[in-house]
Structure 1
Amino acid sequence: MLTHPVRRVLSRRLSVIKTKQSTRRCCSSSSIEDVDQAGTLLQLCVDRHYVSPGQPNVELFQRGMCCSYGPLGTELRRNLLDQWWHSVTGSRAQVFGLNTLSSSSSRDRAADGGGQLRMVESEHLKQLLDRQELSKEQLIQEVRMLLQRSPSVRTNLLQGALEQFVPSMELVNRKLPFGLAETGLCLQPSRGSGCPAEVTQTSLVWFCSPRTSSQWLDHWTRQRLRWWRKFARSPSDFSSSEVPEEELEEPASRGVRIIYHFPWGPESLETLWSRGNSELLHTHQGVRSKLQPRGGQKSIPHVVSVTGNMDRGMMAFLSNSLQQLKREDSKQRLQQRRVLKLHPVLAPVKVALDIGRGATVEMRRVCEGLLQEFLEANILAWPGYLDTAQTSMEQLNTKYDEMGVLFTVVIGENTLESGLLQVRSRDTTIKETMHISEIRNFLSRYISAADNI
């Protein structure tokens, strides 16, 4: 049953669906079914500890903003960011990591000063507004001066990479191309809602020669689309499209969006821009000679930027992985099985450990030993054996399927006698018997093989 917050979010989304029907892909399901699917996803994410409950939090999550994540959501985001980092820094030899400040007064020198977000102490502003002796003009002037003295808050990671271009050129012996990568929180403008929100952003800023910038934009578009589709259950839900000329961001000459088709319509996950060199020149005014690469080239490098929203990316993979299957139970009753078929590399929990009937104390000790082995192998395990509530295996399987757990391992009397345990697969529901000494290597090989596909 949907909570009141979820119902409010869905009622708003229904109006969005009606305005976006012309841009959606052709599909057999109706708008109402799409809303039901979105509601199911949101409710499941709250129930299974991906997202913390609460109306503001659910709304932030569905808008693709950073929200309060539960334990599984936190682990999923960490896995996603790790995979993004490895894919970008490992795809080319000359990509280096950055970590710039989220707020800075020096950033103002490179910005145009319009529409910036700034940090101001509320108490300081309150004291200023309480000064009755100030006229309206004087108050406006004081507020303007306060804002000018206050540090600006970043809304993207691009500027930090532009500022680091000159020292990075020395690192690569002034040779092109090379890139600077960074992940971090950015504050997004309110766009009329009255309150900015944070976004977990990823950024690759690629510096190249002017004549190759278009080719590099095509290269990174293929690379990024391939990366998103690698972890998808339905890769065709991810696509790329050129940004129309009237929507080009200043000073970009060309743009491409990586898009995911949600039940309510398409949303952008990553945007790639061919930005030219005007921002680089503006950031490093007066040092033009330091911007030129080695080899007698007098041209200023061009910038290709790749900016992603990993909060929306998380929701895309959760939406893409949700599978609803109808089946009959042992009493011939029709039931619906919901499974989060997250990619093995992204799945927050790889294995759940539970015990069957028998010598509980001894079996728990076996589980504790296995849990330690998994932790040493960096395999996140769910200690289901610690739950003392009476739950059937069918109920446990339903719970773990909705959590996206890859395998469920059940320790029983046979384990104590012969070392054999039962392993159930999330994706096939097949139960196999395996020796306890094999399970750790089996999981490691399974995850590694899935990562290399």
Structure 2
Amino acid sequence: MLARCFRRVLVRFSTVRSRRCHRGLCSAAPAEGSEPVRTLLQLCVDRHYIFPGQTNAELCRGGFGCVYGPLGVELRRNLLEQWWYSVTGSRARVFGINTLSSSPERAGVGPRIIESKHLQRLWDEGDQSREQLLQELQRCWSVRTNLLQGALEQFVPSLQLVSRKLPFGLAETGSCFRPPDGSGCSAEVTQTSLVWFCSPRTSSQWLDHWARQRLKWWRKFALMPSEFSSSEVPQEELEGAESRVVKISYNFPWGLESLETLSCRGDTELLHTHKGVHSKLQFRDGRKSVPHVVSVSGNVDRGLMAFLSNSLQQLKREDGRKKLQQRRVLKLHPTLAPIKVALDISKGATMELRQVCEGLLQEFLEAKISTWPGFLETIPSSVEQLSAKYDEMGVLFMVVIGENTLESGLLQVRSRDTTIRETVHISEIRSFLSRYVSAASSC
């Protein structure tokens, strides 16, 4: 009951924040500017990556959590899955953790949440002093602004897990709340976090290692890898416990934005979290020293937008009448693409053709190939119209079942990236698609 209450409050808090920002009461993402920006955001709405609405589009562009459409949800899931695999599978001793997004112990660390009806009652009563109202608010739970603190809190039991030997890391993904552009309104962000514990003398080398690994990972899924870059933050711009910071950024149409921040943070925050008790924090290397922390923090929402921006191509081609037409295609990496294949029926649809499509759909789902059941559409479309639609959705292959399929078993397969149409026997299409997806994932 309590959890549901907090969830309702967070949803209301986010809704109120969005409305207030939309009215200009707090800062938000800058207004839409150039034509490429408008084209990208409109495509995301039209093809169900994000929910319609100006405020929602501004949140998405600003790198904050927004209301995603079905394809956006799937793209986000694929992105998180690949991040998790790249971090936990890249080294032997990286362990996943899970911490609460809100906690009474986190008072003073982040924004507070309170049941809106309770706050309204306190306001309406009006018989409490300012100090009493503040005391009431201070009893509220606070939501986290980053994932670092949770990893620091779990360091001691994790150190015991690895027999007090370094290095090792703790990985986590989850929602955080932070004010956009330093305003008092908080917005939700999905973050990734790797907190790497190592000896003091190796922390700088580990920062360089993870910076190379992370940049390589971002570029692996990019259509234009050069748009992703890394840079070291000047010493005079460092804050708090940071001794070195490297940022991985993407060059959006509206400017350079940070996707991941890697920092050497020393042992100050670890000691503060555990009240300075050195004996609990010391590791086994013949010396009585406390580990140093290397933090890798990423913004999934901005990363998702980076890959959408990076993969959008606007190509020109001639149609059958020699007229120049513009073709928009979302060339997402095959591993990230929300939909791998679309199933459709050519002219002359019959009950038998629909049954063939339903059988193929079941086969693809069993092979874990995400499939769009285009054959269920009630509005007829030409093959050219379907091709344009699926290109904008980022679908890898369009499979068209025709009347000849019932006689010969042959069907047409069109590739998003080459636009070439091949003839494949129905008995081979599942293995053909599985091989392609598997090869793309292993690259």
TM over 0.5: yes
| Greater alpha carbon shift after TM alignment, 319-328 vs 123-132 | 123-132
| Counterpart-to-counterpart distance in 1, 2:127 and 2:59 | 42
Partner of 1:230: 220
Structure 1, residues 217-245: CA drift from partner, whole Å, max 9, x if none? 00000000000000000000000000122
Asked if 1 retains the 8 angstrom alpha-carbon contact of 2:164 and 2:283, the reply is yes
Using the TM superposition, give the Cα deviation of residue 195 of structure 1 relative to its aligned residue in structure 2, in angstroms.
2.5
Q: Which residue of 1 is the match for residue 47 of structure 2?
A: 48
Q: Which stretch of the first structure deviates more once superposed, 239-248 or 66-75?
A: 239-248
> When the two structures are aligned, how many residues end up with a matched partner?
417
For the aligned residues, what is the CA RMSD?
Answer: 1.6
Letter in 2 for 1:414: N
Query: Partner of 2:36 in structure 1?
Result: 37
User: Aligned residue for 1:140?
Assistant: 130
- In structure 2, what is the equivalent of residue 385 of structure 1? 375
Match of 1:407 among 384, 397, 402: 397
* 1:188–1:198 contact (8 Å) kept in structure 2: yes
Task: Select which of 102, 117, 124 maps to 2:118.
Answer: 124
SS in 2 for 1:183: strand
Equivalent pair of 2:29/2:58 in contact (CA under 8 Å):
no
Partner Cα distance (1:371, 1:380) in 2: 9
The code of the aligned residue for 1:127 comes to: R
Q: Distance in 1 between matches of 2:49 and 2:32?
A: 21
Establish whether residue 440 from structure 1 lines up as the match of residue 430 from structure 2. Answer: yes
- Does structure 1 conserve the Cα–Cα contact (< 8 Å) formed by 2:315 and 2:327? yes
Which range moves more in the overlay, 190-199 or 419-428? 190-199
TM-fit CA distance, 1:190 = 4.1
CA distance 1:377–1:78, shift in 2 (3 Å) = same
CA distance in 1, matches of 2:105, 2:256: 37
1:366-377 correspondence to structure 2 within 5 Å: 366-377=356-367
Equivalence for 1:83: 82
**TM superposition shift of 1:422:** 0.5
CA contact (8 A) 1:423 1:431 kept: yes
The one-letter amino acid paired with 2:95 is F
Q: Which residue of 2 aligns with 1:332?
A: 322
Distance verdict in 2 for CA 1:234–1:286, change over 3 Å: closer
DSSP-derived class of the 1:45 partner: helix
State the Cα distance separating 1:98 from its structure 2 match: 0.8
1:32 corresponds in structure 2 to none
% identical equivalent positions: 71
Distance in structure 1 (CA, Å) of the matches to 2:377 and 2:87: 40
Does the 8 Å contact 2:233/2:244 carry over to 1? Answer: yes
Gaps of 5+ in 2: 1-21, 23-27
Match runs of 1:331-370 below 5 Å: 331-358=321-348, 360-370=350-360
3-state secondary structure, aligned to 1:223: helix
CA contact (8 A) 1:50 1:69 kept: yes
- Spell out, residue by residue over 1:229-262, the C-alpha distance to the aligned partner (whole angstroms, 9 max, x if none): 0000000000000012232131110100000000
Classify the secondary structure of the residue corresponding to 1:182.
Answer: strand
* TM-score calculated relative to the size of structure 1: 0.89
Following superposition, the deviation at residue 160 of structure 1 comes to 0.5
Judging changes above 3 Å, is the alpha-carbon distance between structure 1 residues 10 and 215 closer, same or farther for their aligned structure 2 residues? closer
Q: Secondary structure at the match of 2:169?
A: strand
Residues 103, 143 of structure 2: 8 Å contact kept: yes
Amino acid at match of 2:308: L
**Structure 1 position 392, deviation (Å):** 0.6
**CA drift at 1:405:** 0.3
Do the aligned residues in 2 keep the contact of 1:107 with 1:159 (CA within 8 Å)? no
Query: Hey, what's the Cα distance between the residues in 2 that align with 1:356 and 1:158?
Result: 54
1:424 aligns with 2:443: no
Alignment partners' CA distance in 2, 1:91 and 1:340: 29
> How is 1:236-275 mapped onto 2 (pairs within 5 angstroms)?
236-275=226-265
Question: Counterparts of 1:254 and 1:412 in 2: how far apart (Å)?
Answer: 61
Distance 1:360 1:249 in 2: 67
Q: Partner of 1:152: helix, strand, or coil? A: strand
